[in-house]
Amino acid sequence: IVIPNSVTEIGQSAFRDCSGLEDLTIGNGTLTIGYGAFSDCIELASVKLGNKLESIESYAFSGCIHLTSINFPERLKYIYGNAFVNCDALTEISLPESLMSISSEAFAYCDKLKTVNFSEGLETIGNRAFAGCTKITSIVIPNSVTEIGQYAFEDCSALEDLTIGNGTLTIGYGAFSDCIELASVKLGNKLESIANYAFSGCIHLTSINFPERLKYINGNAFVNCDALTEISLPGSLMSI
């Protein structure tokens, strides 16, 4: 399918379950890809998005199990919930500076996703946005992100290294729970709160810093972190 430049919007479920579709090119006039527009296009492998795209709605490409190649243009602002859930063949994504929000489960359970390149400009990572992405090995959260949602990276079982930028104020409930290979965590210097179960079950975690603005470490935040041998808590900390 080639969508012409004159098309500004692709409607809900417009091409849903077009099971023979392999290649998709969306023209430079399209601003929005609607809810479920290409969901369950199980043979879709290659997607070229136009350069004026601003919004990818919920479930737009969900269940596109053979999708291996997609670009994210420089005007894209929003990727909504479950937009790429269960896109099992995706291995790498590069997200533009224009992107402000990744919503709930946007890339959840993308089993082969190994590399995620975030850019400065992103503000929020939603609940379970990358949950169950079992091949991701390293994550760097940009300074522009203020909040990491609940279970955002839960069960990213290959994740080894995590760096959280200096703009993040809150790490959400269970955000990195059961990341069983996570060994090293660098927390940003503006972090104020680590929510319940944030790093629970990170059984190989050996190194983590606690920044000077941290106020709260909530219940079970580090429960069953069996490899931790030493922690230094800052004077700002009010409650454990």
As a whole-number percent, the residues of the chain with pLDDT over 90 amount to 100
Q: What confidence tens digit (pLDDT) does each residue in 26-60 have?
A: 999 999 999 999 999 999 999 999 999 999 999 99
pLDDT of amino acid 12: 98
The pTM score is 0.96
pLDDT of amino acid 186: 98
Listed in sequence order, the residues at least 6 apart from 71 whose beta carbon sits closer than 8 Å to its beta carbon are 47, 48, 49
Q: What confidence tens digit (pLDDT) does each residue in 53-90 have?
A: 999 999 999 999 999 999 999 999 999 999 999 999 99
Number of DSSP helices (H) and strands (E) in the chain, helices first: 0, 20
How far does Cα 23 stand from its chain's mean position? 25
| Cβ(193)–Cβ(215) below 8 Å | yes
pLDDT of amino acid 132: 98
pLDDT of amino acid 89: 98
Distances (CA, A) of 207 to 39, 90, 190, 227: 41, 30, 19, 9
pLDDT band at 116 (very low <50, low <70, confident <90, very high): very high
Which string of b and e fits 24-59 if b means at least 16 CB within 10 Å?
bebbebbebbbbbbbbbbeebbebebbebbebbbbb
